[in-house]
Amino acid sequence: MKKVGIVMGSDSDLPVVSKAADILKELQIPFEVHVYSAHRTPEEARNFAANARKDGFGVIIAAAGMAAHLAGALAANTTLPVIGIPCKSSVLDGMDALLSTVMMPSGIPVATVAIDGGKNAALLAAEILAVSDDELAARLDAKRAEEAAAVIRKDASIMERL
Ligand code: RP5
């Protein structure tokens, strides 16, 4: 199976990235995690993206806050799908990172999830890999069914709490 590459702009983004890593582990998807910054270590970020396809990656997740150019900078150097997670790490509560990540110019796409949306980033990466992996697709279906069952259990018990 292709790997997921998770890149974060700073180790201070780890709480958000951990949510993505947990989901990938649960779905038995191999992944690597790196700290590469579009601004502080632009060469390392560029090299990772430029070599990602030959290094066995199928999808890249990029988590960054503030003027969050990481996802776009990685996407500029690969045609692998790049999923951006805008992180809430400044006085602007993630709106800065959201706009910096989502408002990509035509021709260089970044699939942007919600602010601090680590879980959905991992699920989207899994869905991309599952296009050509029926066993992974079955694990995703099972996870979706489990989560629906949990909501149904909450519906059944909500009146008892009021
Ligand atoms: C961004 O700046 C990082 O992705 C992080 O969200 C934010 C703050 O980084 P640190 O100053 O905590 O390293 O580049």
Mutation choice for ligand 1 from 6, 7, 8, 13, CB with most ligand atoms inside 8 A: 13
Which residue minimizes the CA distance to atom 14 of ligand 1? 9
The average pLDDT across 68-83 equals: 98
Which atom belonging to ligand 1 lies closest to the Cα atom of 12? 12
- How high is the mean pLDDT of the chain? 98
Question: pLDDT band for position 49 (50/70/90)?
Answer: very high
Any ligand 1 atom below 6 A from CB of 38: no
Cα–chain-centroid distance for residue 75?
13
Q: Give the model's pLDDT for residue 141.
A: 98
pLDDT of 71 strictly over 90: yes
Q: Give the model's pLDDT for residue 84.
A: 99
Any ligand 1 atom below 6 A from CB of 16: no
Mutation choice for ligand 1 from 17, 66, 101, CB with most ligand atoms inside 8 A: 66
Percent of the chain with pLDDT over 90: 98
Which atom belonging to ligand 1 lies closest to the Cα atom of 87? 6
Any ligand 1 atom below 6 A from CB of 118: no
* Residue 49 to residue 80: CA distance in whole angstroms: 9
44, exposed or middle or buried, with CB in 10 Å at 0-12, 13-18, 19+?
Answer: middle
Q: Give the model's pLDDT for residue 154.
A: 96
149, exposed or middle or buried, with CB in 10 Å at 0-12, 13-18, 19+?
Answer: exposed
Span 103-153, pLDDT tens digits = 999 999 999 999 999 999 999 999 999 999 999 999 999 999 999 999 999
pTM score over 0.95: yes
Q: Give the model's pLDDT for residue 159.
A: 87
Any ligand 1 atom below 6 A from CB of 97: no
C-alpha distances out from residue 16 to 25, 54, 118, 130, 136, Å: 15, 27, 5, 23, 23
Any ligand 1 atom below 6 A from CB of 15: no
The CATH number fitting domain 3-133, selected from 3.30.470.30, 3.40.50.720, 3.40.50.1970, 3.20.20.70 = 3.40.50.1970
Structure tokens at 133: 């992996």
Any ligand 1 atom below 6 A from CB of 87: yes
